[in-house]
Amino acid sequence: MFLASSSWTPGSLADPAGSSVLAAAVSWLEATLLGTVATTIAVIAVSWVGLMMLTGRVNVRHGLTVIAGGFILFGASTIAGGLRSLAVADLEAAQYAPQPPVSAPPPALPPPPPANHDPYAGASVPTR
C-alpha cells in the first residue's frame, strides 16, 4: 500500500545528481565574464591603454591587441552565431542547389586567320 501511494520517480541517467549545480556555476561564470562588471573593466582598460598610447608609453600594436581582445570577448557569441549560420547556409545551399539546365553545345569558333596575315599592313599609309 505504501508503494502504490508514493509518487517517487527515479532520475534520468542523462541528468545525474548535482549537474544543475555545475550548470548554475557555469552560467554564473558566464554572467560574470560578460556582465556589467566585465564591461566596466573593459571600458577602463581600453581608455587606460588609449591614454598610454597617446602619451607614447605603449606601442600601438599592443594597444590594438587590447582593443581587439575586447571585441572578441564581447562579440564571441555573435561571431559564433554568424559562423554557424554560414555553415548551415552553405550546407543547405549545397544540398538544394538547382542543377544547371542542359543547353546546346557552344557554336563553333571561326577559323583562325592565315599564318601570313598582318592586321597592321598598310595602316600608316594614307589613302588618296
pLDDT tens across 14-65, in order? 666 656 777 888 888 888 877 888 888 888 988 999 999 999 998 999 888 9
Q: How many CA atoms lie within 13 A of 128 on its CB side?
A: 0
The answer to whether residue 14 sits within a structural domain is no
The answer to whether residue 6 sits within a structural domain is no
- Asked if residue 38 lies in contact with residue 32, where contact means CB atoms within 8 angstroms, the answer is yes
The answer to whether residue 71 sits within a structural domain is yes
The answer to whether residue 44 sits within a structural domain is yes
Answer yes or no: is pLDDT of 8 > 60: no
The answer to whether residue 64 sits within a structural domain is yes
Helix H segments across 1-128? 2-5, 19-34, 36-55, 60-95
- Domain count within the chain: 1
Which residue range forms the structural domain that includes residue 90? 25-95
- Mean pLDDT, residues 90-108: 71
**pLDDT score for 94:** 61
* pLDDT tens column, 56-94: 998 999 888 988 888 888 888 888 888 888 877 766 666
Residue found under cell 588609449:
50
The answer to whether residue 73 sits within a structural domain is yes
Q: Is 106 helix (H, G, I), strand (E, B) or coil?
A: coil
**pLDDT score for 9:** 54
Burial class (CB in 10 A: 0-12, 13-18, 19+), 38: middle
